[in-house]
Structures are given as structure tokens and as C-alpha cells.
Chains A and B, each alone.
Chain A
Amino acid sequence: MGFMEYLRLAISSLYQNRLRSLLTLLGIVIGVASVITMVSIGEGARVEVVGELEGLGSTMIFIQPNYLDQDVMMGKPVAMSLEDVDLMKRSSPSLSYVSPQITARGIVKLGNREKRTTIVSTNDEIAWMQGLGMADGRFLSESDIRSRRTVLVLGWQLANELFEGESPVGRRVRVNDVACDVIGVMKRRGQRAFSGGMDSEDMYAYVPVTLARRAIGTERVQVVLAQARDVDSVRTAREEIEGFLRRRFGRDHKFRVESAESILESAKVIIGVLTAILGGIGSISLIVGGIGVMNIMLVTVTERTREIGIRKAIGARNSHILRQFVMEAVVLCLVGGVLGTLLGALGAHLVAALSPVPATVSPLAIVVAFASSSLVGLIFGVYPAYKAANLDPIQALRYE
């Protein structure tokens, strides 16, 4: 008895019990669809985060408190002064740019209208480093920093909310009661999928680092963004910074030096785990669907006991019966796999359309969903089929 024979037999049996087959199918469809959607979300997250990190450029280096250090976790303040940042730059010839980031919450006020947001006190090197474009005006310049000018650059959204369509450049606003002239508006950066509950960069206000004490009341630098001269000098630059930090703050300093690349690596690991967890959640519903298949196959076998008896009497071997019923379960699961893949792709597109996660259906997800749905068919179909195959022909023939 050939493969096509079993296939034909399976399809005709399933067709006989249309409603039941359809309902059983639904379990598999939902299971496969959720695996596809979940894995697609994970994949979308990976693409988003990797793209974002790669956008920072592979020569970026971040110096920030080591948040995994116990002292830092317990709230021990870790910061360097602006002099330290200057010293760092001078002692690291492999760095082309160094930009301190003094960040604090503050109020930006225009007349009676005020916005509470994130104030970033930095120098002229950050915009260049991050390749941030300007929508209007210009970014902070070296002379702004040197001359401690009371100037301000607005994030795109902050500018819109404060000025409501009027041109902000040249207007005067107050940053925590320091009057500043708006010299530029950043380009829109867009919503990010993983903002971590922080203000969008479109809501930031940037002031010269030399204005930090006046505008935001602190000169303690927690985060420094630096850039190596080229890709090949990233490692040397990191070593120079590490050496400087050790000389300046001692061997057990609490800073962490990371390059975009090393962050990318750990982000990939984290998202890999995330994808696995999401896929696992999807798999649970696939398993539930599989149990549904097993359940219905057991009912089918019981209902068709007499048929099995007849087939055995006229010469069907155990393996014939086994294959017949396994084929039914596998066909059920494969059809469910196809429909589930379509539904899952639809789900992924909906997620991509309605949320910032650019969920994409990868070929891998489809392969995984297909493999797992046929595996489910095999696993949950084998036991009922085995039961059918091992029925005693005499008792099966007597079954009413």
C-alpha cells in the first residue's frame, strides 16, 4: 500500500467528519499561528535593536557606571568631573571625539506653557557622533561651549509641543529659570520600540555642558560618549580609556567601558532569549492543539473499531493500520500548519502595522512552524494509531 493510498484514505476519512476535523484543525492553526507571530515579534525586535545599535556606528564607545556592580546598585554615586573628561580625551589619542552627557529632569518654559522633560547638558561633539540631523537652525557649537552661551537645541516633538507650529529658532525659553535662546531643532528621530519608559529623544532639550551647573544644578558626569578614530582603533581606544580610569579612580573603579559592538553582542543574546521565550509560549498552544488531535484520534479509533476489525480480517497488517491513522493525524496537522502559517503571517503584519515592533515573518519561523506541526501530528497521532493497530481483530469485528 503506497503513500498516495494512505493520503487518499486519510483525506477521505477526515472529509467524512468535516466539522470535527475542522475544529481539531483549529487547535493546530492557532498553535502554529501563535508560534509564527511570536517568533516574528522576536525577529522584529532583533532587527529593530540591531539596526538601532548599528546606526550608532561601530566606532562608538560608551563609558557609564557599571550598573551590575554591587556598590552602584546600592546607590553609591559614580561620576566624574568635566576636568576628568578633558583628561580622558587628552590621554586617549585613539579617540577623535569625547562628549560628556549630564542628564537631568527639568522644566522648559515658553511664556505660561511649560514642559517637564529631559535636559541633556553636552558639548558640540555629540551631534556629529550620532549623526543626528537638524530640522532647523544648528546644533551646539564649540564657541557656544567655550563662551558659555545661554543657548538651547530642542528635540523635534518638544519644539512642536512648545511652539505649536511657530518657528522656535531665535525665540527665548527658560530652562529651569535660566533664559536661553533656541538655536536649533533636531530632526525627528521617531518612536523607538524599546524606550525603557524614558522620554523619547524627540522630547530632549540640549544645553552647553558649560551651562550645566547653572541650568541643571550639577556638573557630575555619569555618561560619556566617545568615538574612536576608526574601526581598527576601537580596541586600543577602549584600552586607553580603561587605563585612564584605573589611573584616575583606582583599580576597582565603577565605570564600564563598552563599544557599540559589545553592546550589540549582548543585545543579540538577550533578544535570542526573548525570542525563545516567545516561541515557547506559542509552542504551548501548539501542544494544546496536539492534545486535541490526540483526543479526537482516540475517539476516531474507537468509532472505527469495526472498520479496523474488517480491514485486519481481510489482510491488513498492524503496520497498515498504524500508517493509516498516523497519516490522518499528520494530514490534520499539516493542513493546520499551512493555515496557521497564513494566520501567523497576518498576525505578524498586524503587529508590524499597529505597534513599533517591525515583526517580520522569517523563513526560519515558517520552517520551524511546519516542522513542529508535523512533529505534533506524529507524536500525538502515534499513540491512537498504535492503539488501533494492536486491536484484536476478533474483538474489533464484534464491536458494535
Chain B
Amino acid sequence: MEIPLPGGNSAGDIIVVEGVSKVYNTGHVKVNALKDVNLSVRSGEFVAIMGPSGSGKSTLMNILGCLDRPTSGSYRLDGREVSSLSPDDLAIVRNKKIGFVFQTFNLLPRLTALENVELPLIYAGVGPGERRERALAALESVGLKDRARHRPNQLSGGQAQRVAIARALVNNPAIILADEPTGNLDSKSGQEIMGIIMEMNVRGITVVMVTHDDDIAGYAGRIIYLKDGDIVGSEMKNEGRKAATSTIL
């Protein structure tokens, strides 16, 4: 179904999804995880995606994150059609354009916080010296410079998620994709994390976040509701964003 989008398909759209469907073929049963989804996200926007489990949130996030390709339809990320790229080209897009923040942090347990943040730069081919410098700067921006040598199991949940955010930011991505970023945190740490995400957004980074928590979704400027693989509603929340921003800054 068509949802009128603010700004339309203007040049300011960093994400443009048109007619995207995803069909999973599990043996003899076909599952339509996404049905003809259209979505545009403006550069610098903060969008929350909500919906019950099985609504296609994860599938949409996987496609937006270039971890998966749509069965049909078009996906332009930062002006480039990425729906039919090879796995290796998708890896390059993920590396350069996308920062992931996962519910379970997904840090490598054997590496220090600093080394975890350095990882995307390693795959981007950045040399050791610059890597260290940029990773330290990213850690500093989330207030964890003094934890650089700690391993993930020596960090609290909130700290681990902040390291993950530093890792997502270190390659200056076009968008941050956050999948239930506060799902594994107590409410105080959750608020801290949302504060950092808001701060990033205020600095101009586009954020797309999946959540089923209304309070968390309240930080976003726009909420998109998904059900049975369809976008069934959309809500602008400009005051919410302003309010949240002002409480943090």
C-alpha cells in the first residue's frame, strides 16, 4: 500500500525503497515476509520501525542493512541501487555506508573494546596508525576512552552497547541501523544509549531503529508501523524528538 511520504523521492532521501518484496521458500511453503513495501528516509531523519513479531521488521532491517537482497523491487542507498549487488559488493556497502547496533551488542569477546571498534576499519583497508587514532576518537565520542583496553566481559551492558555504537560510527556511515538497541539493557542504561543515538542524529546521522517499546520509539521523528509484511501506518513525532533532544543536550 502507498503511504504518502514527507519529502517524497527528492534528492535528500538517503534510503529509497520501492516495491520491495521478500519471499522465503521454505520447502513447499512460501512465506511473503515483505509485500511491495515503499519507504523513503530523508538524510538526517530518525525513523523507528514498529510492529508485532512476524510483521517483517527483521526482514526489512536485513534488506536495509544490505545483509539480504529483496526478491523483487528496488532499494537505493545514498543514491546507489543496491538491491542486486553481489555478496562481496554488499559487504563493501555495509562496511562503508552502514553502522549496525544490535540488541545483543555483538562484540567479539576475544578483542578489546578498541580492537572491536577498529574492526570495520581493518576491512576498509585503513592502516594501523590511522585505525587506532580513529577508533580511539570514536570511543571518546561515546565516553569510553578509558575503557579502550577492556574486553567486552569486563564492561557493563550499557558500556558494551556504547562500544558497539562507536564501532558503528567509526567508518562515518551514511546510516545507523539499530535493532532493539536497548532490548538487553536496564532502563537507565537504555536511556543513556538513546541519548547517544539522539546525539548522533542531531549531528546529522540518519538512524533507522527497530523497537517494540513505545517509549524508545518516542525518541524517533517518525514511526512506521509494519504488519504482515506491509507498512500499515506512519506517524510524525516532531515534538517528541525535540523534547528528547532537549533533555539530553
Chain A residues with CB under 8 Å of chain B are 1, 5, 12-13, 16, 306-307, 309-320, 393-394, 397
> Contact: B106 with A397, CB < 8 Å?
yes
A12 / chain B contacts, CB cutoff of 8 Å: 110
> Contact: A317 with B88, CB < 8 Å?
yes
B102 smallest CB distance to A (angstroms): 8
Provide the bound-state CA to CA distance between A312 and B87, in Å: 10
**Interface 1/0 per residue, B82-115 and A, CB below 8 Å:** 0000011001101110001010001110100000
A319 / chain B contacts, CB cutoff of 8 Å: 88
A122 smallest CB distance to B (angstroms): 78
Q: B119 an interface residue at 8 Å Cβ cutoff?
A: yes
11 contacts between A and B (CB under 8 A): A311-B108, A311-B123, A312-B94, A314-B120, A315-B96, A315-B171, A317-B91, A320-B123, A393-B67, A394-B62, A397-B106
Q: B167 an interface residue at 8 Å Cβ cutoff?
A: yes
B119 / chain A contacts, CB cutoff of 8 Å: 311, 314
Q: B124 an interface residue at 8 Å Cβ cutoff?
A: yes
> Contact: A314 with B87, CB < 8 Å?
no
- Given A5-B122, A320-B123: A313 and B65 interface contact (C-beta under 8 Å): yes
CB-contact partner of A315 in B62, B91, B110, under 8 A = B91
B102 / chain A contacts, CB cutoff of 8 Å: 397
A288 smallest CB distance to B (angstroms): 30
> Contact: A313 with B88, CB < 8 Å?
no
Q: B27 an interface residue at 8 Å Cβ cutoff?
A: no
Provide the bound-state CA to CA distance between A320 and B122, in Å: 10
A305 smallest CB distance to B (angstroms): 12
B4 / chain A contacts, CB cutoff of 8 Å: none
Chain B residues with CB under 8 Å of chain A are 62, 65, 67-68, 87-88, 91-92, 94-96, 100, 102, 106-108, 110, 119-120, 122-125, 167, 171
Given contacts A313-B65, A317-B88, A397-B106, 18 further A-B contacts (CB under 8 A): A13-B110, A306-B106, A310-B108, A311-B108, A313-B106, A314-B94, A314-B95, A314-B123, A315-B94, A315-B120, A315-B171, A316-B91, A317-B87, A317-B92, A319-B88, A393-B67, A394-B67, A394-B68
B167 / chain A contacts, CB cutoff of 8 Å: 314
- Given A12-B110, A16-B110, A394-B68: A315 and B92 interface contact (C-beta under 8 Å): yes
Residue of A1, A316, A317, A319 with most partner-chain B CB within 10 A: A317
B22 smallest CB distance to A (angstroms): 12
> Contact: B94 with A307, CB < 8 Å?
no
**Helix, strand, loop or mixed for chain A's interface?**
helix
Closest 8 CB pairs of A and B: A315-B95, A315-B123, A317-B91, A314-B120, A317-B88, A310-B106, A393-B67, A315-B94
Provide the bound-state CA to CA distance between A397 and B102, in Å: 10
A317 / chain B contacts, CB cutoff of 8 Å: 87-88, 91-92, 123
> Contact: A315 with B124, CB < 8 Å?
yes
Provide the bound-state CA to CA distance between A12 and B87, in Å: 28
Provide the bound-state CA to CA distance between A314 and B100, in Å: 7
Provide the bound-state CA to CA distance between A13 and B124, in Å: 21
Provide the bound-state CA to CA distance between A309 and B87, in Å: 13
A195 smallest CB distance to B (angstroms): 60
Provide the bound-state CA to CA distance between A166 and B167, in Å: 92
Provide the bound-state CA to CA distance between A318 and B88, in Å: 7
B68 / chain A contacts, CB cutoff of 8 Å: 394
Closest chain A residue, CB of each to CB of B87: A318
B122 / chain A contacts, CB cutoff of 8 Å: 1, 5
> Contact: B100 with A313, CB < 8 Å?
yes
A318 / chain B contacts, CB cutoff of 8 Å: 87-88, 91
B228 smallest CB distance to A (angstroms): 20
B171 / chain A contacts, CB cutoff of 8 Å: 315
A313 / chain B contacts, CB cutoff of 8 Å: 65, 67, 94, 100, 106
B106 / chain A contacts, CB cutoff of 8 Å: 306, 309-310, 313, 397
B232 smallest CB distance to A (angstroms): 24
Provide the bound-state CA to CA distance between A313 and B125, in Å: 16
Provide the bound-state CA to CA distance between A307 and B116, in Å: 11
Provide the bound-state CA to CA distance between A317 and B90, in Å: 9
B107 / chain A contacts, CB cutoff of 8 Å: 310
B15 smallest CB distance to A (angstroms): 18
B95 / chain A contacts, CB cutoff of 8 Å: 314-316
> Contact: A312 with B110, CB < 8 Å?
no
Closest chain A residue, CB of each to CB of B61: A394
Closest chain B residue, CB of each to CB of A314: B120
